[in-house]
Amino acid sequence: MPARRRTSGTESPAARIRGLRKAFGERLVFDGLDLDVARGERVAVLGASGCGKSTLLRCIAGLERSDAGTIATAGEIGVMFQEPRLFPWLDVARNVGFPARDDAERARVPSVLALVGLAHAARRLPKELSGGMAQRAALARALVRDPHVLLLDEPFAALDALRRIELRAAVHEILTLTRASAILVTHDVDDALAIADRVIVLAGSPAEVAFTGNVGETATRSAILDALGVIENGGHARVRGRT
């Protein structure tokens, strides 16, 4: 069973993973994975389906037990999933406040609703929300504890193109305002380039970091696609080696 701890001090990273090992039965997902996320840094994790991206986030969040290694995080963790996962019998304000542990955190509900643009919808039930609004409510819920590290697991995947762009811009703005560190799991290169400071591509079995680069420097669209094994030609994309 791995060691889990909270780091302290301004020099320590927001998240530090050393020697992470995780298997599901005979399938070895990670075998000695190392990863650091600096304080205030936004890291996007890409890779083929099933390579372990979501498993990595679940291990960091403590939702999945890893088999070996250490995971250290600086302070509170917030998690936003692909689906909003709102309680249908609670209004938006109560959904957002559900993880709050004390009066101080419950008092944050109006401010985080305002931050995600849902102050006007506090008393609506989830069935009265659009898909984009429901995801904003999920984002507010992830922020209610004022997390140091925000974990985002494909948060835009279920949205149409317009809502995806709107929520992507909102997440970028909120991360800038809150200065929270973030790890974003996505299949979309545009999501990564719009939000992240650094992009990581996982590949192999067990998965390893096949590519890492800073956005605006080595992590260009073409470099990321190349690391993913994708060839883009005339607006069409195909996986290298496939016709």
- The model's pLDDT over 6-51, given as tens digits with 9 standing for 90+, comes to 555 556 899 999 999 999 999 999 999 999 999 999 999 999 988 9
Is it the case that residue 236 has pLDDT exceeding 50? no
The domain ranges of the chain are 11-75+150-167+180-243, 85-147
Contact by Cβ (8 Å): 230, 203:
no
DSSP letter string over the chain?
Answer: --EEEE--STTS-SEEEEEEEEEETTEEEEEEEEEEE-TT-EEEEEESTTSSHHHHHHHHHTSS--SEEEEEESS-EEEE-SS----TTS-HHHHHHTT--SHHHHTTHHHHHHHTT-GGGTT--GGGS-HHHHHHHHHHHHHTT--SEEEEESTTTTS-HHHHHHHHHHHHHHHHHH--EEEEE-S-HHHHHHH-SEEEEEETTTTEEEEEEEBTTTB-HHHHHHHHTEEEETTEEEETT--
Q: Which residues pair with 33 in a beta bridge?
A: 20
CATH class of the domain defined by 11-75+150-167+180-243: alpha beta
pTM of the model: 0.89
Average pLDDT over residues 75-95: 94
pLDDT more than 90, % of the chain: 78
What pLDDT is recorded for position 242? 45
With b for 16 or more beta-carbon neighbours within 10 A and e for fewer, the 98-125 pattern comes to: eebeeeebbebbeebbebbbbeebbeeb
- Amino acid, single-letter form, for residue 186: T
